[in-house]
Amino acid sequence: MGEAAMKIFTTGNPFAPGIPTQAALKVRAAEWEASEAIDMVLIGYSALWPQNMVTASMIAAVTERLGLIVAHRPGVMHPAHAARAFGSLDFLSGGNRLALNIVSGSSDKDIAREGDYTPKPERYARATDYVEFMKKAWTGNAPFDWDTAYAKAEGVRVLMKPMSGHVPIYMGGESDEAVDFGAKHADTYMLWGEPIAGTAERIERVRRIAKDKYGRELEFSLSLRLFLGDTDEAAWAEARRVEQTIVDAQGSNRFLRSAVTDASVGRERQLATTQQDTHDDGVFWTGLVKLLGGFANSAALVGTPDRVFKALRCYRDLGISAFLLTTGEDGFWDPSIEAFATRVKREL
């Protein structure tokens, strides 16, 4: 498999702060659509947020080329319903704009908000069943029955299918169950930011299982928060400003963070990197990982554009074909990194 073209993903609140409005969503969607750097935007999932399938549908309706990675949690709906919904969304958005980020780990507290009490080790088995059900619905023409430990249905048939016959599957996770699921079904394996050595180790592990056990190859993305400056000192000043902003907000719900009770192999691996404040020649910074309890997308690169670009090139050489780039205290997209992200996309 040849080297894949570099892609840039991002994420962010599709609404203005406060009460969500259609007008705020249109403004944000237009910003993402106009970006020369952004290929796809991840629309995250939480039981507390606006329903992201509805949000994604609205964004697709007011844009033409922007790709959407819609996070989806198996268990919130029957896979027959999901196959129909996502097949329709792909088709009606013009095809090849939709991907699914299958979220199986999730915090016990958040899934309980939607009435799901499935133990974490069992969620990946359910996710495998769920994805296999959808794939069958998207590719077959004859009605089929399904009867497993996780879903039962009769006469399933999806008339409005994804235009290419498949919706790409994105996922991430560090547990053995997560790695096996990704090796079997992921088109893109999403990695949280880690130092270069740890990233190489994770890529090799997933690649080996995918090839040896399932005869597959897949792509990898890496999520990083960027703090750039004309000098290293300026970049670090911005990183420390963000750090202090988060410190000052402790005790409030201003910033999402992992709870102490969130047991996750990936979270523990993230937190292990915080034994050192910086790695990789002082560019990789763990300060926000520690402050936010190992919350996803809090690992950062800090420095001048050239130093950060050099670090990204090292990750590219390992096999990373997409970067999910954000910045600031919220870890969202900001136009301030547009020029740099465009450079990364074109030169890497």
pLDDT tens by residue, 194-214: 999 999 999 999 999 999 999
Return d(Cα 287, Cα 277) in angstroms, integer.
6
Q: How buried is 269 (Cβ within 10 angstroms: 0-12 exposed, 13-18 middle, 19+ buried)?
A: middle
pLDDT of residue 324: 98
Neighbouring residues of 281: CB distance < 8 A, sequence distance ≥ 6: 307, 311
- The secondary structure element, H or E, covering residue 306 is helix 305-318
Residue indicated by tokens 């996070």? 71
159 located within any domain: yes
Report residue 142 as tokens. Answer: 């004859």
Nearest residue to 197 (alpha-carbon basis) of 263, 272, 257: 272
Return d(Cα 111, Cα 339) in angstroms, integer.
38
287 located within any domain: no
Contact 42, 101 (CB under 8 A): yes
Where residue 148 sits, what CATH number does that domain have? 3.20.20.30
48 located within any domain: yes
pLDDT of residue 348: 96
257 located within any domain: no
Strands 144-147 and 152-156: antiparallel
Cα dist from 158 to 101, 168, 180, whole Å = 21, 17, 28
3-state secondary structure of 81: helix
291 located within any domain: no
Instruction: Name the residue range of residue 194's domain.
Output: 7-225+306-347
pLDDT of residue 257: 64
Which sign does the torsion angle of CA 41, 45, 46, 51 carry? positive
pLDDT of residue 259: 55
Return d(Cα 273, Cα 279) in angstroms, integer.
9
| Low-confidence spans in the chain with pLDDT less than 50 | none
Task: Say what the alpha-carbon torsion angle 125, 40, 262, 74 is, to the nearest 10 degrees.
Answer: -30
- Number of domains observed in the structure of the chain: 1
Report residue 314 as tokens. Answer: 């090292």
47 located within any domain: yes
242 located within any domain: no
pLDDT of residue 109: 86
> For the chain, what is the total number of helices (H) and then of strands (E)?
12, 13
Return d(Cα 114, Cα 122) in angstroms, integer.
17
337 located within any domain: yes
Return d(Cα 307, Cα 232) in angstroms, integer.
9
pLDDT in tens, 252-293: 777 766 555 566 676 777 777 878 899 999 999 999 999 988
